[in-house]
Chains A and B, each alone.
Chain A
Amino acid sequence: MTAAAVAARVTDPEMPMLTLADLGILRAVDESADGVVVTITPTYSGCPAMQTIRDDLTAALREAGYPRVEVRTVLTPAWTTDWISAAGRDKLAAAGISPPGAAPRRAAGPVPLTLAPSRRAVSCPQCGHPDTEEIAAFSATACRSLRRCPVCREPFEHVKEI
C-alpha cells in the first residue's frame, strides 16, 4: 500500500467514523528516499486530538513498512468544514451526527455579530424533519453544536460550519 493510502485510512480519535482524509485535515503525504512526510492541519487551535493523530499516523505507517515518518503541521490555510468529503458527510449522517452546511462566507468589514441562536435550516438526522432548533452552540467538542428536533424530540449533534 502507498504511504498516502495508509495515512488516508487513519481515523480521527474523536469522530472515529471519519478518516483523516474524510475530515480534510490530511493535507499532503510525500514519499521519498528519506522517508515519509505527512502534512496535517488542526481543526481548532486547541484540538486535543492532534497529538494522538500524530502518533496514530506514525504508528500506522511504521506498521505498513515505513520506518521513517515525519508529521508536519500547517496552520494556513485554516481548516474549514467545507473540506469534509462527501463520503465523510454520509458517514456522519449514518452515525446520527448532522453534517455541516456550507461555511459562512465573510463579507468585507467586521465579523458580523449573531445575537439570536443560529437559524440555519438543519434537518433532523433521525426523522428527516427539515427545521430543528439549536440548544447549545458547543457540545462534547468545540466542532459540534447540540440541536433538537421539534417532531421526534430527539437531541442530536451538528458539526458547526467554520
Chain B
Amino acid sequence: MSFDAAYEALTDHDDDARWAYGTGFADPLAGVDTTVPADVDRADLSAYCLALGDDALIMSHRLQQWVTRAPELEDELALANIALDLLGQARLLLSRAAEVEDAGRDEDVLAYQRDAAEFRNVRLAERTDADFAHLVARLLVFATWRLALLDRLTASGDPVLAAIGAKGVKEVTYHRDYAAQWVVRLGDGTPLSHERMQAAVDAVTPLIGELFRPHPTEVRLAAVAVAVDPSALRPEFDAVWAQVLKAATLRPAADVPDEADSGVSASVAQDGADRGGSSGGPAGAGRTDFAPDGGGRDGVHTAALADILAELQGVARSLPGSEW
C-alpha cells in the first residue's frame, strides 16, 4: 500500500475535515440529554463545569509532558492513560460549560482561545514537577481530592455532572492507586529515594489548602445540591493522605502556610504590606473565603500556567481555524 493510499484509508470513511490542532470530533455530549435543571443558575453551573474541566485539562497536559521522560515504559503507558482519562473528563466538562453558557463557544474555543487569567484550575494542576517523586506526590494529592469530589458529584442535581462523576470515579480510583503505590515504593525504599520522596511531599503540601476552600460559585451551587462543597472533602482527603504517608514511612510536612495565602506565587507580585511577612504563620484563622490574592479558581495563577498554554494553544493561535 502506498503512503497516499494509507492516508486515504485513515480518512475515507469520514468526510469531515479535522482541526489541525484540536479534536474536530463530535461533541462528546452529542445525544446526551443536556437539559439544565430549572432552579439552577446557568452562569454558575457553566463556571463550575469550567473549573472542574480546567483542573482535568491542565493536569492532563502536565502528565503528557512525562511521556518519553518516565523511568520505565510501563510508567509512560500509565501516565499517558491517566492523562487520557483526564482529557476525556475535561472534554465532557468543557462541552457542558459551553453548552450551559449558550454563548456560541464550544470545547475547542474554551481550551484554545482563553488566556491564563480566564482559566479556573487549582494551582496544584499547573505546578511543574522537579522529578518523578514530585509528580507522584502531586498526582496522589490531585487524585485523592478529585476522587472524593467526583464520588459526591454522583448525587448532583445536574444529571450530566452526576453522570460525569459516576464515570470518573471508576477512572480516578486507578489513578490514586497508581500514585499511592509509587509514593510508598519510593518513600519506603532506599535512603536516597526516601529523602527525595520526603522533599516532594514537603513541596506539594503548600498547594493542598487551596483545594478545599469553597469558591462563592461552589457555595451557591452546593446550596441547591448541584455542586460539592470542597471543604466537606477534607476529612476523607486527610485520612487517605495520612494512610499513604504512614505506609511510605514519610512524615507530614511541617505546618506550612498555603501558597495562595502566603503570596509567593510567581505571577502575583504584590508589595506584601498587608501580609505580615513570615511572622504570622497561616493567614486568617477565621478566614471563610479566599486569601486576598485569590487562587486558581479566581484566575490567579503562577507563571507555570502560561508555559502550559503556550504549548497547548500555540498551533491553534498561530493558525486559527486550520483544517487538514
Which residues of A are interface residues toward B (Cβ below 8 A)? 39, 42, 44-48, 50-51, 54-56, 59, 70-80, 110-111, 113-117, 135-142, 146, 160, 162
A142 contacts B32, C-beta separation under 8 Å: no
B78 contacts A51, C-beta separation under 8 Å: no
Question: In chain B, residues 98-121, which have Cβ atoms closer than 8 Å to a Cβ of chain A?
Answer: none
B170 contacts A162, C-beta separation under 8 Å: yes
> Which one, A48, A70, A137, A162, contacts B31 given CB within 8 A?
A70
Q: How many angstroms from the CA of A71 to the CA of B154 in the assembled complex?
A: 25
Report A29 CB to chain B, min CB distance, Å: 13
B30 contacts A138, C-beta separation under 8 Å: no
Report A151 CB to chain B, min CB distance, Å: 21
> Which one, B26, B86, B160, B247, contacts A115 given CB within 8 A?
B247
Residue of B nearest to A110 (CB): B236
Report B217 CB to chain A, min CB distance, Å: 23
Given contacts A75-B164, A114-B177, whether A141 and B81 have CB atoms under 8 Å apart is yes
> Which one, A54, A77, A79, A138, contacts B77 given CB within 8 A?
A138
Report A27 CB to chain B, min CB distance, Å: 11
A78 contacts B74, C-beta separation under 8 Å: no
Q: How many angstroms from the CA of A142 to the CA of B239 in the assembled complex?
A: 27
B171 contacts A59, C-beta separation under 8 Å: no
A46 contacts B74, C-beta separation under 8 Å: no
Which residues of B are interface residues toward A (Cβ below 8 A)? 13-14, 25-26, 28-32, 74-75, 77-78, 80-82, 84-89, 91-92, 147-148, 151, 159-160, 162-164, 166-171, 173-174, 176-178, 180-181, 184, 236, 239-240, 243-244, 247
| Residues of chain B within 8 A of A160, CB atoms compared | 174
| Residues of chain B within 8 A of A115, CB atoms compared | 177, 180-181, 184, 243-244, 247
Report A75 CB to chain B, min CB distance, Å: 4
A55 contacts B14, C-beta separation under 8 Å: yes
A137 contacts B178, C-beta separation under 8 Å: yes
Q: How many angstroms from the CA of A74 to the CA of B159 in the assembled complex?
A: 11
> Which one, B28, B29, B85, B162, contacts A142 given CB within 8 A?
B85
| Residues of chain A within 8 A of B170, CB atoms compared | 78, 80, 162
| Residues of chain B within 8 A of A45, CB atoms compared | 85, 88-89, 91-92, 164, 167-168, 171
> Which one, B32, B176, B240, contacts A73 given CB within 8 A?
B32
Q: How many angstroms from the CA of A146 to the CA of B81 in the assembled complex?
A: 13
A73 contacts B244, C-beta separation under 8 Å: no
Given contacts A72-B30, A138-B78, whether A51 and B240 have CB atoms under 8 Å apart is no
A146 contacts B159, C-beta separation under 8 Å: no
A55 contacts B13, C-beta separation under 8 Å: yes
Report B107 CB to chain A, min CB distance, Å: 13
Given contacts A51-B26, A115-B244, whether A46 and B87 have CB atoms under 8 Å apart is yes
Known: A45-B164, A78-B167. 16 other contacts (CB 8 A): A39-B31, A44-B88, A48-B84, A71-B31, A72-B31, A73-B30, A75-B92, A77-B166, A78-B166, A110-B148, A110-B239, A110-B240, A111-B147, A115-B243, A137-B177, A139-B77
A46 contacts B88, C-beta separation under 8 Å: yes
A136 contacts B74, C-beta separation under 8 Å: yes
A47 contacts B88, C-beta separation under 8 Å: yes
| Residues of chain A within 8 A of B147, CB atoms compared | 111
| Residues of chain A within 8 A of B87, CB atoms compared | 46
B78 contacts A76, C-beta separation under 8 Å: no
Residue of B nearest to A135 (CB): B74
Q: How many angstroms from the CA of A70 to the CA of B88 in the assembled complex?
A: 22
A113 contacts B168, C-beta separation under 8 Å: no
Report B152 CB to chain A, min CB distance, Å: 10
B78 contacts A137, C-beta separation under 8 Å: yes
| Residues of chain B within 8 A of A116, CB atoms compared | 181
Report B106 CB to chain A, min CB distance, Å: 15
| Residues of chain B within 8 A of A59, CB atoms compared | 13
> Which one, B30, B77, B85, B178, contacts A140 given CB within 8 A?
B77
Q: How many angstroms from the CA of A56 to the CA of B12 in the assembled complex?
A: 11
| Residues of chain B within 8 A of A80, CB atoms compared | 170
B159 contacts A50, C-beta separation under 8 Å: no
| Residues of chain B within 8 A of A70, CB atoms compared | 31
Report B73 CB to chain A, min CB distance, Å: 9
| Residues of chain B within 8 A of A142, CB atoms compared | 81, 84-85, 171
Report A143 CB to chain B, min CB distance, Å: 9
| Residues of chain A within 8 A of B243, CB atoms compared | 113, 115
